[in-house]
Amino acid sequence: MSQEYTTPVPDLDASEVPEPGAVTIVVPTFNESANIRELLHQITESVPARLPCEVVFVDDSTDDTPEVIKEAAQDCPFPVAVIHRDEPVGGLGGAVVEGLKAATSDWIVVMDGDCQHPPSLVPELVATGERANAGLVVASRYIKGGSRAGLAGSYRIAVSRGATWLTKMLFPRRLHGISDPMSGFFAIRRQAVTADVLKPLGYKILLELAVRSRPRQVAEVPFVFQDRFAGESKSTAQEGLRFLRHLAGLRTATPAARMVGFGLIGASGFVPNLLALWILTGLGMHYLPAEIVANQFGVAWNFLLIEQLLFRDRRLHRRWWDRAGRFALLANADLVLRIPLIALFVREFGMGALTATSVALVTTFVLRFAATEALVYLPRRKSRRKSRSESGGEQHRSRTARSTA
């Protein structure tokens, strides 16, 4: 990887780790009971002598991982806490956000619970952040001295490199200076992140942090991705799909980007529309009712994609049948409105039929996008108050669930 992404990292000595040195190590876990003792042993061997620390596990497990953590923590010379979530909202990324909220130290280091991220690097991440006055320090596999050796198999390597390329292409400005946006191992200053603005989906929390609340100054240190100590990787095809949905959600976070996505999805709706029209007319249906019925296939297609890619985080404001009905009404109203507009442009402004149709298409598209946001997906006032209330209650429940082992 090109050296333009690398922040020079000086050789570190134990006595040179700057103050304040306290760090909270946040470890999201899902059925990692076989790795807990080894992970805490590695942290004990490499961190406390250089840096006062605490460890916060945010656990979504269905096995005995919380009990193993509490038992193993008795031998640790630092505080260990467990936050167990009965509902894994947001996946691994959501677990990290809960850990960020629970952290009490000036620095927070996020790492996996499978021992593929070496705890010996934790003091170096914090020291580099202090020296570079950085808000975020990423442990990178793709700068000089780093390696992805622990990625088993050519398939996982190809997926990792492809995901890295895709994210950097979609967010060139936000990810400038971050060579490994897929890394799950990084340090961040507590004051540099506002956990409430994060909306994680899946396991790539660094990408979420960098896009939504990236600190101005970012540094990197190389690290060698280790082999798993025990168990199997949690990376699945389903997680890959969640990652792609997350990318789409991040990329369409602004109104302008959502409008572009809305238009592209609308254009794709011509495929099921025309296919249904071809089938219905082929079965002998008159073209006029066939056109009306076929249009509903395009509407359904557009609704499903918009739900998944553009407004996924706003679907709770209304019931699905309410959203679907409103969306269908707006989509069909578009057809009714377009014809009078074309007639108006031709009669009153002297436009040709082709020009008038083009202007009408653009006009109704903008109106339909604005109406879809306002009438289908924007929360009502009562929903907003309820959402804030539930958010506060959820945060309270998370805090009280924290138990020091």
Among 248, 249, 93, 102, CA closest to 186: 93
Q: Which residue has the higher pLDDT, 388 or 261?
A: 261
Give the pLDDT confidence of 70-115 residue by residue, as tens digits.
Answer: 999 998 999 999 999 988 777 777 888 888 888 888 899 999 888 8
Task: Give the single-character DSSP code of 219.
Answer: E
Look up the pTM and report it: 0.62
Residue 293: pLDDT band (50, 70, 90) is: confident
Q: Which residues contact 325 (CB under 8 A, 6 or more apart)?
A: none
Q: What is the pLDDT of residue 9?
A: 38
Give the pLDDT confidence of 335-366 residue by residue, as tens digits.
Answer: 778 778 878 888 888 888 778 777 877 787 88
Q: Is 94 left (phi over 0), alpha (psi -120 to 50) or beta?
A: alpha
Among 267, 316, 5, CA closest to 144: 5
Give the pLDDT confidence of 25-52 residue by residue, as tens digits.
Answer: 999 998 888 899 999 999 999 998 888 9
Q: Which residue has the higher pLDDT, 139 or 22?
A: 139
- CATH of 3-251, picked from 3.30.1360.70, 3.40.50.720, 3.90.550.10, 3.90.180.10, is 3.90.550.10
Q: Which residue has the higher pLDDT, 154 or 394?
A: 154
| Cβ–Cβ under 8 Å, residues 47 and 122 | yes
| Cβ–Cβ under 8 Å, residues 59 and 66 | yes
Residue 397: pLDDT band (50, 70, 90) is: very low
Task: Please tell me the distance from the alpha carbon of residue 37 to that of residue 43, in angstroms, as a whole number.
Answer: 10
Residue extents of the structural domains in the chain? 3-251, 255-385
Give the pLDDT confidence of 109-164 residue by residue, as tens digits.
Answer: 999 888 889 999 999 999 999 999 998 999 998 888 887 765 555 656 676 677 77
Q: Is 177 left (phi over 0), alpha (psi -120 to 50) or beta?
A: left
